[in-house]
Chains A and B, each alone.
Chain A
Amino acid sequence: MLTVTDLHASYGAIVALHGISLRVPDGQIVALLGANGAGKSTTLRVISGLLRPTRGAIDYDGIRLHRRTAQEIVGIGISHVPEGRELFMELSVEENLRLGAYIRRDRNVKSDMQRVYEYFPRLRERHAQEANRLSGGEQQMLAIGRALMSRPRLLLLDEPSLGLAPLIVREIFDIVKTINAEEKMAVLVVEQNVSLALSVASYGYVLETGSVALENNAVALMGDDKVRRSYLGYEVGA
């Protein structure tokens, strides 16, 4: 289980997180919701070691993460699909996947790659193409597939829907749900599309300007007046 306690972080003089606490239980999907600039992506960046927190603690199964580097954290079993996908654009699909398995020393990499291709058959068709030749949806699939290659127990997923057509977004979320079920892998997903995220998540946190404004299980959040008004566009009482 991932436990984040009172997390503070800043970019230079700009404070992005003012004390965030959250928990991601094993095998569950947790959604991190909120508007632009609320600190969702920053939270993921701090967890995966891309940004060092100024204060607070991150704990994963008793291992303290907040002083470790990104490369150590992948080894602990947390994989980050960053905002904007950050693919190796001039490497082929297969090479991207192989780099995803960079930390692994075992011999099952080949079979895991086949497994990723089973989740995302479109990647198999394009395995020899450079990443920059893929469509946006395929790139997102590759980013997720690449993250799976390190065999994570927790996946940090940053805005998988960014810039994609609704049908593809649905497809990607369905696959994430399947992977979560089949691999017993927990997912912390950042998303602006609140109803979509809550449809797959079991629990949700709503961030506002760097702190947790609201948290509850997904069903309760969907019914929450404030969430409906601010993020789902319903007029309450209408």
Chain B
Amino acid sequence: MNVLAVLPHLASYLLAPQPWDNLELFFDQSVAGIATGSIYGLVALGIVLIYRSTDVINFAQGELALFVTFCGWSMIEAGYPYLAMFALVILIAGGLGAFLERTVIRPVEGAPVLNVVIVTLGLFVIFNSLTAFIWAQGELPKSFPATPIGTELETFDFGILTLQQHRVAVIIISVIVAACLYLLFNRTKLGLAMRGTAQNRVAAQLMGINTGRMLMLGWALSAMVGAVGGMLVAPIIFLDLTTMLRVILFAFAAAVLGGLDSPPGAMIGGITIGITQNILSTFALGPVFFGPQLALPAALLVLVLVLLIRPTGLFGRHAVRRV
């Protein structure tokens, strides 16, 4: 066997570009990583919002976002201004999330958790195919406009740093969304009631909280956050049937990395994965990682290693064991 064949590979890792060879590229890639990572984080946030109140991983998260983002594309085609489209898509997403919770998720309440997971897998397939059915007649992929803050191709110049405009926009909007959610959950009665419902439903009912409504709002909120993620990622990798598939897997990884019941963890997890992925796919980082070709496995290896040290993610609560 050609074991020796590994040696030239080893040599090539050492000769490949390393972060310290090109600091400008390193920073550029880091910012790009933060931007894509924020998008993973937003979608992961949607997953976390549902998981922590019902213990269900919503596999349909990404496809819901895909569906409403395509709705947004149609609105742009119909001549809506970007901001109106943005607001409408978020509204539609919220309505859709609430509708799904009441129509298909609620009836399987009380069934084994894995059954609910199957329902979300079913929704995943359904929304992907509906999107294909409605929008795949024309050309795919479709180009989706960037935010009014800046285009995908032009850059902002900040002296030493030159940043793509859309990346800056992504980071700004993600910060705004995260801040809004923080304020909702920590500064309002509604947010407190949602947290209470997620933690103890019986107690929440005894406090006079309409727990069913809180769970519905959780789904609505989750779909809305996901929709923002969809509209932000679409200008970068174009709008196609597989667009969100490429995001959702990393969003799962992000949610798990941060801890499935921790919203801040989801954002931090997303950004960590975004940066790791970008740096690994640009630099060889010596023989520790195995070069750009293995950026994906290496990023996932990082995830698994973190999980081995912290089995419920970086900020997750330890699972309570009941006898």
Q: Which residues of A contact B (CB under 8 A)?
A: 48-50, 69-72, 74-75, 79-80, 82, 86-91, 95, 98-100, 102-103, 146, 150
Contacts and interface: CB of A to CB of B under 8 A. Distances in A.
A88 B200 contact: yes
10 contacts: A49-B205, A50-B206, A82-B203, A88-B195, A88-B204, A95-B196, A99-B193, A99-B209, A100-B207, A102-B207
B149 interface: no
Nearest to A100: B207
A108 B276 CA distance: 51
Contact of A103 (B196, B199, B200, B207): B207
Contacts of B200: 86-89
B208 A86 contact: no
B192 interface: yes
Interface in B77-125: none
A86 B196 contact: no
Contacts of A69: 205
Given A91-B196, A91-B199, A99-B193, A82 B208 contact: no
Given A99-B192, A99-B193, A90 B317 contact: yes
B206 A103 contact: no
A137 B209 CA distance: 26
Contact of B189 (A48, A102, A146): A102
Interface in B199-240: 199-200, 202-210
A13 to B, nearest CB: 17
Given A90-B317, A98-B192, A102-B193, A70 B199 contact: no
Contacts of A50: 202, 205-206
A181 to B, nearest CB: 25
A100 B203 CA distance: 9
A72 B206 CA distance: 9
B202 A99 contact: no
Interface residues of B, number: 17
B144 to A, nearest CB: 39
A72 B205 CA distance: 9
Contacts of A48: 206
B194 to A, nearest CB: 11
Nearest to A90: B199
Contacts of A87: 200, 203
Given A98-B189, A99-B196, A102-B189, A88 B203 contact: yes
Contacts of B199: 88-91
A234 to B, nearest CB: 36
Contact of A99 (B207, B210, B317): B207
A43 to B, nearest CB: 15
Contact of B210 (A71, A80, A82): A71
Contacts of B210: 71
A70 B206 CA distance: 6
Contacts of A102: 189, 193, 207-209
Contacts of B317: 90
B202 A86 contact: yes
B208 A75 contact: yes
Given A82-B202, A91-B199, A95-B195, 20 more contacts: A50-B202, A50-B206, A71-B205, A71-B207, A71-B209, A74-B206, A82-B203, A86-B200, A86-B202, A87-B200, A88-B200, A89-B199, A91-B195, A91-B196, A99-B192, A99-B196, A103-B207, A146-B207, A150-B207, A150-B208
Contacts of A89: 199-200
B249 to A, nearest CB: 29
A48 B207 CA distance: 11
A91 B197 CA distance: 11
Given A89-B199, A90-B199, A90-B317, A82 B192 contact: no
Nearest to B52: A90
Contacts of B207: 71, 74, 99-100, 102-103, 146, 150
Contacts of B202: 50, 82, 86
A89 B210 CA distance: 19
Nearest to B206: A80
Contacts of A86: 200, 202-203, 206
A89 B203 CA distance: 11
Nearest 4 CB-CB pairings of A with B: A74-B208, A103-B208, A86-B203, A70-B205
A80 B199 CA distance: 18
A77 to B, nearest CB: 11
Contacts of A150: 207-208
